[in-house]
């Protein structure tokens, strides 16, 4: 019996079942998901690829980021709902106006006058307070906010003043407050989803449209439009939101890592937009598109027409304007 037991102990020891200390299993990287509606060459996606690398490096592999571009996870509105419900970890939020009315001014006409104005805003208490208000109102964590550049009008005729836009069917984003752009330009608002723009312009459903230069180029709108009018009527802004369920599950150190990663994303997009703007203008010209500088004053004078409809915007609008002083 003792001989048999000795043999068994030798076998077990050789097999590594004895004497070797137990080692805890290595924790798998936590996968975070983010969905957006942009093409893979859009600044948002390009920045997210850089953010993915940064997050994975800074976390020592603790986090990884899975990106769903081109609305492959969900369209814009459904992605926001998925984040609010906790089914998707992150997505862009252009405006929280449905939950916090005053925040709609971020997508209001002529809220920002130039990129220096935007930079001042990003460093201000006004910016930090707005992020906190959005987080509470939407039920998410509002991470950093970025811009896509100033939105400009395109068309197959030249429109340089409000009178030129009368009876012009202007494609606008199909949710508030974007259609108000038609008010300052004096056009007929024609709300359409982003995926329908090209065909609408090609078939005459819309006569003109408005978008940042990044979108005009990535969506190849220069193929169906002859002119770009640099109205700079709105600085297109957005930001990354994270589900509260996901945010609350993180330690303070992990939250700091995520905030750092998406501050990096926002700064990357802001810088890329400014650096690429002249390049995009030159690209449009090479495609045969005429790019026109426009006197913005007659359009700015129409801004009170929009604020009359959205009086809740006025206090935040004034605070943003005060940053220029």
Q: What pLDDT was estimated at residue 41? A: 87
Domains and their CATH numbers in the chain: 29-322 (3.40.190.170)
Q: What pLDDT was estimated at residue 249? A: 97
Q: What's the Cα-to-Cα distance from 46 to each of 39, 52, 197, rounded to whole Å?
A: 9, 10, 23
Q: What pLDDT was estimated at residue 218? A: 86
For residue 180, give the nearest of 296, 77, 294, 308 by alpha carbon: 308
Q: What pLDDT was estimated at residue 98? A: 92
Beta-sheet pairing, 208-212 with 169-173: parallel
Cβ distance 231 to 293 under 8 Å?
A: no
What beta strand segments (E) does 244-294 contain?
Answer: 290-293
Beta-sheet pairing, 169-173 with 227-243: unpaired
pTM for the whole structure? 0.83
For residue 151, give the nearest of 126, 175, 123, 185 by alpha carbon: 185
Cβ distance 225 to 201 under 8 Å?
A: yes
Task: Tell me which residues of the chain have a pLDDT lower than 50.
Answer: 1-26
Joined tokens for residue 205: 């459903």
Cβ distance 58 to 49 under 8 Å?
A: no
φ/ψ (deg, to 5) at 313: -75, -25
Cis peptide before 177 (omega within 30 of 0): yes
3-class SS at 192? Answer: strand
Q: For 273-283, b where at least 16 C-beta lie within 10 A, e where not — what string?
A: beebbeebbee
Q: What pLDDT was estimated at residue 27? A: 58
Residues whose CB falls within 8 Å of the CB of residue 237, separated by 6 or more in sequence, listed in order: 94, 106, 107, 145, 146, 147, 148
Within 13 A of 299's CA, how many CA atoms are on the CB side? 30
- Rounded Cα distance between 190 and 195, Å, is 14
Q: What pLDDT was estimated at residue 25? A: 42
Beta bridge partners of 211: 152
């Amino acid at each position: 019996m003792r001989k048999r037991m000795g043999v068994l102990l030798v076998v077990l020891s050789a097999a590594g079942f004895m004497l070797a200390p137990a080692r805890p299993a290595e924790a798998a990287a936590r996968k975070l998901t983010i969905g957006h509606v942009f093409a893979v060459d859009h600044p948002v996606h390009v920045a997210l690829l850089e953010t993915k690398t940064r997050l994975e490096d800074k976390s020592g592999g603790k986090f990884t980021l899975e990106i769903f571009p081109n609305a492959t996870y969900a369209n814009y509105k459904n992605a926001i709902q998925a984040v609010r419900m906790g089914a998707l970890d992150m997505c862009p939020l252009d405006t929280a106006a449905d939950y916090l009315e005053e925040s709609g001014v971020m997508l209001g006409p002529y809220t920002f006058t130039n990129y220096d104005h935007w930079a001042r805003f990003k460093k201000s208490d006004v910016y930090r307070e707005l992020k906190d208000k959005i987080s509470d109102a939407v039920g998410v964590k509002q991470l950093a906010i970025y811009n896509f550049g100033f939105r400009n009008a395109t068309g197959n005729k030249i429109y340089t003043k409000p009178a030129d836009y009368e009876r012009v069917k202007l494609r606008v984003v199909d949710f508030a407050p974007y259609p108000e752009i038609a008010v300052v330009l004096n056009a007929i608002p024609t709300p359409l989803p982003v995926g329908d723009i090209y065909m609408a312009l090609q078939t005459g459903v819309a006569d003109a449209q408005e978008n940042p230069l990044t979108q005009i180029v990535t969506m190849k709108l220069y193929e169906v439009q002859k002119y770009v009018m640099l109205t700079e009527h709105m600085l297109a802004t957005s930001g990354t939101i994270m589900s509260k369920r996901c945010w609350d599950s993180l330690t303070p150190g992990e939250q700091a890592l995520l905030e750092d990663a998406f501050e990096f994303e926002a700064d990357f997009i802001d810088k890329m937009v400014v650096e690429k703007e002249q390049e995009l203008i030159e690209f449009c010209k090479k495609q045969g598109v005429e790019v026109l500088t426009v006197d913005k004053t007659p359009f700015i004078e129409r801004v009170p027409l929009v604020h009359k409809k959205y009086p809740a915007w006025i206090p935040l609008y004034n605070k943003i304007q005060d940053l220029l002083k």
